[in-house]
Homo-oligomer: A and B are copies of this chain.
Amino acid sequence: MADWQEIAGGITAPRGYRAAGITAGLKPSGLPDLALILSDVEAIAAGVFTTSQVKAACVDYCRQRLQAKHSARAILCNAGQANAATGTQGWFDALESAIAIAQALNIPSESVLLASTGVIGQRIKMDALKSGIPQLVTELSETGSDKAAQAIITTDLVTKSIALETTVGDRPVRIGGIAKGSGMIHPNMATMLAFITCDAAVSPALWQQMLSRAADRSFNSITVDGDTSTNDSLIALANGQSRTPAIIEMGLEAEKLEAMLTAVCQHLAKAIARDGEGATCLIEVQVTGTQDEPSARQIAKTIAGSSLVKSAIFGRDPNWGRIVAATGRAGVPFEQENLQIKLGDFLMLENGQPLPFDRVAASAYLKQTAANSSLPNNSQRVDNPVLIAVSVGNGQGAGKAWGCDLSYDYVRINAEYTT
């Protein structure tokens, strides 16, 4: 059905991009901690950033840059220190990072975007960052996506990466993406980050609109614990190196590109939710029958974020009463006699009234789905979520959200970090 196919290569699958990831010594663990993405030419750039009142220096920096010009060539990302709540000095550190990488790449510092992830309140280890830059630039490669993906993660158990290909005007167009985020934010280890590369030619305004809508349908529709971070950033480049006709307004080609962009974002978002701290499975909530899409998403997110629903799924308990309660408190008006709830193929509530169902079989469904979604392969991990389907009426609105279950390990990881 989809108008595209999955290909290898991540963010270096699209034409005209190189990437690198190295160990610069920012993380105490000695794991890779500095990543660079470079477009051969100045690329149209769009961004979506945290809505928190407390923003990391890199977020303020990117917003100012993208307000001044809608293009960039490089994204520099460090892991280990979030550079949030670091005051004026944190801002100078961000500027100095951008200038250092610009000089090494021989590009204007205006063409550099930044991202940080790590402990809130800690400045970037600038000596280590600056010392690492020569090696980082040397290692830039057209097959460097995996190394970059490894260098941006913190408490993530797996890297998150995807690339899709479609055709525009009979020529291939590709979008790649990498992301980090352990769903639940680890002790101060803030942040969901995602970087998207695309080789289509698209106008700046349209690219930003597409990205904002795709973010609403993906990263803004996942929830693990609701703790929006100070550093959340989604940055997307489009460099035109596919040599396909420029897309400057909505239409068939634009819709196709946006659908593929949304699919890339959704894959990465689901991978983040699945990797939530302590999670044993991915949960997908589908809501229909609302007046509009945002209302449906709001209900879906409330269900996916309910600690009661999440604990029940962890316990493989087909506890539909909790889904009813979460639906009811989502803040979206509906008539409760229209409410319908399905868990997998099991219809549990219809016309607002409970139905008899096979509790043992429903619990078995939960157990089997969880087993499927513990597969090591990233795509397989997100392909078999626990499905919750809710309908609240006859409206045309529909929306989805993703989350994960709530386990003992979630508490262990987050309570015992510094003890």
Shortest Cβ gap from A335 to chain B (Å): 8
Which secondary structure characterizes the binding site on chain A? Answer: loop
**A77 smallest CB distance to B (angstroms):** 19
The CA of A312 and the CA of B415, in the complex, are separated in Å by: 5
Chain B residue nearest in CB terms to A191:
B325
Inter-chain contact A354/B411, CB cutoff 8 Å: no
Q: How far is the CA of A351 from the CA of B89 in the complex (A)?
A: 13
Verify if A185 is at the interface (C-beta below 8 Å from B): yes
State whether B187 touches A324 (Cβ < 8 A).
no
Question: Binary interface profile of A, 26-47, with partner B (CB < 8 Å = 1, else 0)?
Answer: 0000000000000000000000
User: What residue of chain B has the Cβ atom nearest to residue A363's Cβ?
Assistant: B419
Q: Which residues A398-419 have CB closer than 8 A to chain B?
A: 406-408, 410-412, 414-419
CB of A53 within 8 Å of the partner chain = yes
Whether A315 lies near B418 (C-beta < 8 A) is yes
Check if A317 sits within 8 Å of B418, measured CB to CB: yes
Contact B120 A184 (CB under 8 A): no
In chain B, what residue has the closest Cβ to A185?
A: B308
- Which of A121, A188, A190, A311 gathers the greatest number of chain B CB atoms within 10 Å? A311
Chain B CB within 10 A, most for which of A84, A324, A334: A324
The CA-CA distance from A355 to B101 in the complex, in Å, is 31
Closest to A51 in B: B329
| Contact residues of A between 325 and 346, Cβ < 8 Å to B | 325-330, 332-334, 336-337, 339
- A185-212 CB mask vs B (1 if < 8 Å, else 0) is 1011010000000000000000000000
Q: Is A129 an interface residue (CB 8 A)?
A: no
Expressed in whole angstroms, the Cα–Cα distance for A317 and B332 within the complex equals 37
Establish whether residues A52 and B328, one from each chain, have CB atoms under 8 Å apart when the complex forms.
yes
A326: which B residues are within 8 A, CB to CB? 227
A308: chain B residues within 8 A (beta carbon): 184-185, 187, 225, 227, 414
A227 partner residues in chain B, CB cutoff 8 A: 306-308, 322, 325-326, 329
CB distance B53 to A315 under 8 Å?
A: no
Q: How far is the CA of A316 from the CA of B406 in the complex (A)?
A: 21
Q: How far does the Cβ of A302 sit from chain B's closest Cβ, in whole Å?
A: 9
The answer to whether A320 touches B185, judged by C-beta atoms less than 8 angstroms apart, is no
- Interfacial residues of chain A within 374-419, with CB under 8 A of chain B in the complex: 406-408, 410-412, 414-419
Shortest distance in angstroms between A332's beta carbon and chain B's nearest beta carbon? 7
In contact, A228 and B325 (Cβ under 8 angstroms) = yes
What residue in chain B is nearest A353 (Cβ atoms)? B87
The residue from B51, B190, B306 contacting A325, defined by CB atoms under 8 A apart: B190
> Is A314 interfacial (CB-CB < 8 Å)?
yes
B187 close to A325 (CB less than 8 A): no
| Complex Cα gap A229–B225 (Å) | 19
Nearest residue in B to A322 (C-beta to C-beta)?
B188
- Taken residue by residue from 220 to 253, chain A's Cβ proximity to chain B (1 for < 8 Å, 0 otherwise) reads as 0000011111100000000000000000000000
Complex contacts, A104 vs chain B, CB 8 Å: none
The contact string, 1 if C-beta is below 8 Å from chain B, for chain A 350-361, is 011110000000
- With most chain B CB atoms within 10 A of its CB, the pick from A320, A329, A352 is A329
**Which residues from chain A sit less than 8 Å from chain B, CB to CB?**
50-55, 84-87, 119-121, 184-185, 187-188, 190, 225-230, 306-308, 311-312, 314-317, 319-322, 324-330, 332-334, 336-337, 339, 349, 351-354, 363, 406-408, 410-412, 414-419
24 contacts between A and B (CB under 8 A): A52-B325, A53-B328, A53-B332, A55-B336, A84-B324, A85-B321, A85-B336, A86-B353, A120-B321, A120-B324, A121-B320, A187-B312, A187-B317, A187-B319, A188-B322, A190-B321, A190-B325, A226-B307, A227-B326, A228-B325, A307-B410, A311-B411, A312-B414, A363-B419
Q: Which 4 A-B pairs have the closest CB atoms?
A: A315-B415, A54-B328, A120-B321, A311-B414
